């Protein structure tokens, strides 16, 4: 069901929230990936001109947006229990709290959500955020839940306003959305729709604005970011390497990265960009999911384990200090112990600086969800074995950086007095004792030791660097 459109006899939908109205408080809760973090910020940007300012807590808010993720287990249940808490608050405020559910759960469960949680005012899929002002106005006029989960013909990217609020030293920029790959386990093609890339000039303009607002590192985002093919100013499609090369020309932008990539879209040019683009970090998130050819086939990944190994070798040949992170799913339907050991072998051979690993969770409507499932205890035991190895590799990677002198981008104060915090070239959290304010600057740091979740270093002076 679509939201009712304003008619000639009704007041203009956006008048309700017109600029100059009493300031309104907006609280946004974000679940899931960086793309949702980006979308949440853009929704706040869209609503700011209408008088909404963001607040840190839902209590007293005029509007709460719950931006949801549908990727893994119990996503819906988590959303419903959080909504139950919001309902109590809404009632305590005499009903004066508009509740909106956005993101992939909204897209996948629109009608169910409206039935199970009728106190929700708005259910909005990821393609329709730009319509929020008119949907809010419609929700004020209408009894019942307003739902907009259409996949419009024109793209979301065509409608987003300019970035308004600074994101910080590290900023995220969405350049591609959706996916046509249909992996057996994944809801993204159903919740985010077909793959679409944002025009290159629009990306570059947003990147420049971000830098003007203080960004020093930009992470380009997309569900399959390395499949990027945005229209260039010449009308031809630009690939990611070309876009990265143009971004590297932006003054004041020091570091670039991109996530998430598919191994099949690592083109020769993109591999060479890791050698030739001076601003591209030596760090790549390249999800492989499994090391078993049989399971990769069942997952519809359309490559085998050796393809991933070759990509890693070629990237290391292009940039010797590159570090990898990845995603793994254990317990996909049909996975035997021998398949799982193939994954362990691939992990041991590759060596990861970081990794995310999950037990397979059936997502309704996806092909693998209809297959016979593995027992939970088998999945959990495999996950523990895999995570122990990944943790060991992460610790080994961090330990190997002790003694290195490396640039660190400072992002803010550390947790303790007198500390500053930043990120190494390999995205490790780095802590340095230093009373000076260096946020946004890159310092040369000698790594001295590792902690459980960070590394510790000393900031070198110009004389020490020169010596
Ligand atoms: N596009 C990326 C790729 O091709 O690998 C992945 C994007 S997906 C949004 C993020 C990660 O969530 C996946 O890499 C996968 O490991 C995990 N994931 C997705 N569906 C899952 C499921 N049904 N069960 C467990 N993990 C899942
Ligand atoms: Fe999901 Fe990534 Fe597969 Fe697309 S390529 S279906 S986003 S896991």
Residues 104/191, Cβ–Cβ less than 8 Å? yes
Q: How far is the CA of 260 from the centre of ligand 2 (A)?
A: 10
Query: Does the beta carbon of 362 lie inside 6 Å of ligand 2?
Result: no
- The 10s digit of each residue's pLDDT in 92-107 is 999 999 999 999 999 8
Nearest-angstrom CA–CA distance, 365 and 287: 22
DSSP notation for 287-345: --B-S-HHHHHHTT--S-HHHHHHHHHHHHHH-TT-EEEEEEEE--TT--HHHHHHHHH
Alpha carbon nearest to ligand 1 atom 12, residue = 71
What confidence tier does 157 reach under pLDDT thresholds 50, 70, 90? Answer: low
Q: How far is the CA of 191 from the centre of ligand 1 (A)?
A: 13
Longest dimension (CA), the chain: 77
> What pLDDT does 212 receive?
95
Lowest-confidence region among 126-135, 151-160, 339-348, 399-408: 151-160
Q: Among 304, 445, 327, 439, which Cα is nearest to 386's?
A: 327
- The 10s digit of each residue's pLDDT in 405-461 is 999 999 998 888 889 999 999 999 999 998 788 999 999 999 999 988 889 999 998
459 strand-pairing partners: 445
Residue 161 has pLDDT above 90, yes or no: no
> What pLDDT does 143 receive?
77
- The 10s digit of each residue's pLDDT in 359-376 is 999 998 899 999 999 999
Q: Whole-model pTM?
A: 0.86
Q: Pairing relation of β-strands 176-177 and 196-197?
A: antiparallel
Phi and psi, residue 253, nearest 5° = -90, 120
Nearest-angstrom CA–CA distance, 416 and 411: 15
Residues 100/126, Cβ–Cβ less than 8 Å? no
Lowest-confidence region among 78-92, 246-260, 380-394: 78-92
What confidence tier does 127 reach under pLDDT thresholds 50, 70, 90? Answer: confident
> What pLDDT does 17 receive?
43
Residue 389 has pLDDT above 60, yes or no: yes
What confidence tier does 181 reach under pLDDT thresholds 50, 70, 90? Answer: very high
Q: Pairing relation of β-strands 442-450 and 98-102?
A: unpaired
What mean pLDDT is predicted for residues 16-24? 58
Q: How far is the CA of 186 from the centre of ligand 1 (A)?
A: 6
> What pLDDT does 325 receive?
97
What confidence tier does 16 reach under pLDDT thresholds 50, 70, 90? Answer: very low
> What pLDDT does 461 receive?
85
Ligand located closest to 178 CA: 2
- The 10s digit of each residue's pLDDT in 265-313 is 999 999 999 999 999 999 999 999 999 999 999 999 999 999 999 999 9
- The 10s digit of each residue's pLDDT in 320-361 is 999 999 999 999 999 999 999 999 999 999 999 999 999 999
Cα 316 off chain centre by: 25
**Residue showing tokens 């980006």:** 38
Residue 1 has pLDDT above 50, yes or no: no
Residue 249 has pLDDT above 80, yes or no: yes
Residue 86 has pLDDT above 60, yes or no: yes
> What pLDDT does 14 receive?
38
What mean pLDDT is predicted for residues 163-171? 80
Alpha carbon nearest to ligand 1 atom 14, residue = 327
Taking the CA of residue 224 as reference, the ligand 1 atom at the shortest distance is 1
Both tokens of 38, joined, read: 């980006």
Query: Does the beta carbon of 262 lie inside 6 Å of ligand 2?
Result: yes
Residue 8 has pLDDT above 70, yes or no: no
Q: What is the mean pLDDT of the chain?
A: 90
Q: Among 171, 211, 151, 138, which Cα is nearest to 42's?
A: 171
Q: Ligand 1: residues whose CB is within 6 Å? A: 71-72, 185-186, 188, 223-224, 260, 262, 287, 289, 327, 329, 358, 360-361, 363
Residue 318 has pLDDT above 90, yes or no: yes
What confidence tier does 153 reach under pLDDT thresholds 50, 70, 90? Answer: low
What mean pLDDT is predicted for residues 392-410? 96
């Amino acid at each position: 069901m679509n939201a009712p459109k304003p008619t000639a006899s009704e007041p203009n939908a956006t008048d309700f929230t017109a600029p100059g109205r009493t300031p309104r408080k907006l609280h946004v809760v974000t679940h899931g990936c960086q793309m949702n973090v980006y979308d949440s910020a853009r929704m706040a940007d869209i609503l700011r001109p209408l008088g909404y300012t963001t607040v840190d807590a839902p209590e007293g808010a005029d509007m709460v947006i719950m931006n949801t993720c549908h990727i893994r287990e119990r996503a819906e249940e988590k959303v419903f229990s959080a909504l139950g808490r919001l309902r109590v608050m809404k009632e305590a405020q005499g009903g004066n709290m508009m509740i909106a559910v956005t993101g992939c759960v909204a897209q996948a469960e629109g009608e169910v959500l409206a039935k199970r949680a009728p106190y929700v005012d708005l259910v909005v899929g990821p393609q329709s955020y730009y319509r929020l002002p008119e949907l809010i106005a419609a929700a004020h006029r209408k009894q019942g839940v307003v739902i907009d989960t259409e996949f419009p013909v024109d793209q979301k990217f065509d409608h987003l306003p300019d970035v308004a609020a600074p994101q910080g030293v590290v900023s995220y920029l969405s350049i591609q959305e959706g996916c046509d790959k249909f992996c057996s386990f994944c809801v993204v093609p159903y919740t985010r729709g077909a793959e679409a890339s944002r025009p290159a000039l629009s990306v570059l303009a947003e990147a420049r604005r971000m830098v003007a607002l203080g960004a020093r590192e930009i992470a380009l985002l997309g569900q399959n970011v390395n499949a990027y093919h945005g229209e260039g100013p010449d009308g031809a499609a630009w690939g990611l390497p070309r876009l990265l090369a143009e971004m590297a020309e932006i003054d004041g932008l020091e570091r670039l990265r991109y996530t998430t990539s598919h191994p099949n879209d690592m083109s020769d040019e993109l591999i060479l960009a890791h050698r030739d683009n001076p601003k591209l970090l030596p760090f790549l998130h390249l999800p492989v999911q499994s090391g078993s050819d049989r399971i990769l086939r069942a997952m519809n990944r359309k490559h085998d384990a050796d393809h991933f190994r070759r990509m890693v070798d070629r990237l290391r040949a292009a940039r010797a200090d590159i570090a990898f992170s990845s995603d793994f799913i254990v317990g996909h339907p049909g996975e035997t112990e021998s398949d799982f050991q193939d994954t362990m072998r691939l992990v041991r051979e590759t060596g990861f600086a970081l990794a995310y690993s999950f037990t397979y969770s059936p997502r309704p409507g996806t092909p693998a969800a209809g297959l016979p499932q593995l027992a939970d205890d088998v999945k959990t035991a495999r996950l523990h074995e895999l995570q122990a190895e990944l943790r060991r590799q992460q610790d080994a990677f961090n330990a190997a950086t002790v003694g290195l002198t490396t640039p660190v981008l400072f992002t803010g104060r550390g947790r303790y007095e007198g500390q500053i915090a930043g990120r190494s070239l390999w995205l490790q959290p780095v802590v340095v004792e230093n009373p000076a304010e260096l946020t946004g600057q890159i310092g040369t740091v000698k790594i001295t030791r590792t902690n459980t979740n960070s590394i510790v270093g000393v900031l070198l002076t110009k004389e020490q660097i020169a010596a």
